[in-house]
Amino acid sequence: MALIIDSSTGTVLTAHTCYFLPDDTFTDEEWEQIDDFSDSEIGRIGKENGVNVQESEGLLRSISDALWGDDVLGIRDWNADTLNAIADAIRNVRPDLVGEE
């Protein structure tokens, strides 16, 4: 299980329950009011608008495996299949990053 550790407080969180909210999720005024929300409201906002940290970490590992997973002796045979595997991983985990096709 992946953990997220807040280095300023030492708080330990599990990645599968954490969400990343991009800057453009809210207006500046809405970000300023985030402290007024209850923990359950913030949790709901994270699930509805955020990106799950564990899924994003898994995406990074998938891309890494596509690029270097079979790199036995420093031989990299990147080709169209490599690019397609990376594109498929992004489409599956972060469709919000995929442009119009």
CA separation, residue 84 to residues 6, 42, 62, 91, 92 (Å) = 35, 36, 12, 10, 12
Q: How many domains does the chain have?
A: 1
pLDDT at 82: 86
The dihedral sign for the CA sequence 79, 90, 14, 26: positive
What is the overall mean pLDDT for the chain?
85
What are the structure tokens assigned to 26, written together? 């809210």
| Residue 74: predicted pLDDT | 64
**Full domain range(s) for residue 8:** 3-97
CA distance 37 to 59: 30
Ranges of the chain whose pLDDT falls below 50? none
Element (H, E) at 4: strand 3-5
